[in-house]
Structure 1
Amino acid sequence: MKIIHIFEENLYSIRYSGECKDELERLFDLWEDNEYLFEFFEANQADLVFYKLSIEQAVGETRKEAGKLRDALFEALYENPIQIETLFRNLDNRVVHTFLLSEQKTRRRWLRLYAIRIHENMYLITGGAIKLTQKMGERPHTKQELSKLEKCKTFLEQNNVFDDDSFKEMLNE
């Protein structure tokens, strides 16, 4: 597991062992890949019924929404990095307060980016998914994202990360 610096002191992304891309790059590449999207929506067609869209429409919507999510993320980072805080929310909608190393998400329709909040305006992307169901535990691909969040959080805790300074210290070792 390697932490990749994406933007100043605000955004980082995990690159898992054996992967050639960090999670942010991997996800945006997947969400632009027609073949992957067609296969995904075919495999999850029963969940797509709720949206009343054909597979072709879902592919088009996903590509469009991925572009908007990327634009919102990088617009916030480049124009005013403090705005990144407004993009992320607690993973559990019932939790109202944020805390150190809290599990976060940002979303655009059914697209999700998952992250660990290191500090105010500082996030570590751990993964993401196309989430068509209400709960993450309902499908294997979203369960996997929960597992990745926990794995990254455990990694940070084992490396004594508890705030932005300890995170930066870990990166410089």
Structure 2
Amino acid sequence: MKIDTIFVPSLFAFRYAGEVDNEYDRLMDHWTDVSYLRKYAKDNAVANINQFVKDRLKDAEQIQDVLEEITINNQPLEFYFRTLFDTESGIKILSLQKGKIIKNGIRIYAIKIDTNCFVITGGAIKMTQTMQDHPDSNNELTKIKTAKEYLQQHSIFDTDSFYELINE
């Protein structure tokens, strides 16, 4: 696993072994690709494929705009990312997070390293209420837990230790 910078100095993304792109770039490529979205809709038995594609294209653009605006205005990424599970609300070290915009059907998953420092582990199109109920989001749950273990194995507990890891 490698970690790429997305928006310096606060947003990063994993690039998994065998992958050309980091997770942010890979996801945005998929979520802005009409052919990919149409196939995804068909594979998931979506009733109105055209509306699904239109909505996901809008959702992806909205996420890109929000993250860019947060970065340009030097706002904390906590405006976008929320704890993945309510039980993690008090956890400060390596908490699991999801990017969430109201009425947006796409989720980006990340690990919060420290205040205003996140590393993206993956993402999914929201098809079910809980992550465990759809194979794609359930796979993302596995990825985020594996990424957290990787960070723990490398003794990551704050931004200083994180920057040491990515600058090795």
TM over 0.5: same fold? yes
Residue 67, structure 1, aligned to residue 88, structure 2: no
Q: Contact between 2:3 and 2:12, CA under 8 Å: does it hold in 1?
A: yes
Structure 2 counterparts to residues 3-152 of structure 1, below 5 A? 3-45=3-45, 48=46, 54-80=48-74, 82-93=75-86, 95-108=88-101, 109-152=104-147
Following the alignment from structure 2 to structure 1, what is the Cα–Cα distance between the partners of residues 29 and 141? 21
Corresponding letter in the other structure for 1:68 = Q
Structure 2 residue 152 is the aligned partner of structure 1 residue 157: yes
Question: For residues 16-40 of structure 1, what are the alpha-carbon distances to aligned partners after superposition, in whole Å with 9 as ceiling and x for unaligned?
Answer: 1011000000111100111110111
> Following the alignment from structure 1 to structure 2, what is the Cα–Cα distance between the partners of residues 11 and 164?
11
Q: Is the contact made by 1:90 and 1:98 (CA closer than 8 Å) also made in structure 2?
A: no
Percent sequence identity is 40
Find the aligned partners of 1:34 and 1:70 in 2 and give their Cα distance.
17
User: In 2, Cα distance between the equivalents of 1:33 and 1:103?
Assistant: 28
Contact 1:84–1:121, Cα closer than 8 Å, also in 2: yes
Aligned partners of 1:31 and 1:37 also within 8 Å = yes
Give the unaligned 5+ runs of structure 1: none
Within 1, Cα distance between the matches of 2:3 and 2:72?
A: 20
Structure 2: gaps of 5 or more residues? none
Q: CA deviation at 1:128?
A: 0.3
How far has the Cα of 1:134 moved from its partner? 0.5
d(CA) in 2 for partners of 1:138, 1:56: 24
Change (3 A) 1:155 1:102: same
- Alpha-carbon distance, 1:98 to partner: 4.4
- 8 A Cα contact 2:88 2:96, kept in partner: no
Cα RMSD (Å): 1.3
1:125 aligned partner, one-letter code:
I
Equivalent residue pairs, number: 166
Equivalent pair of 1:117/1:124 in contact (CA under 8 Å): yes
| Distance in 1, Cα, partners of 2:89 & 2:149 | 22
Query: Distance in 1 between the 2:154 and 2:87 partners?
Result: 29
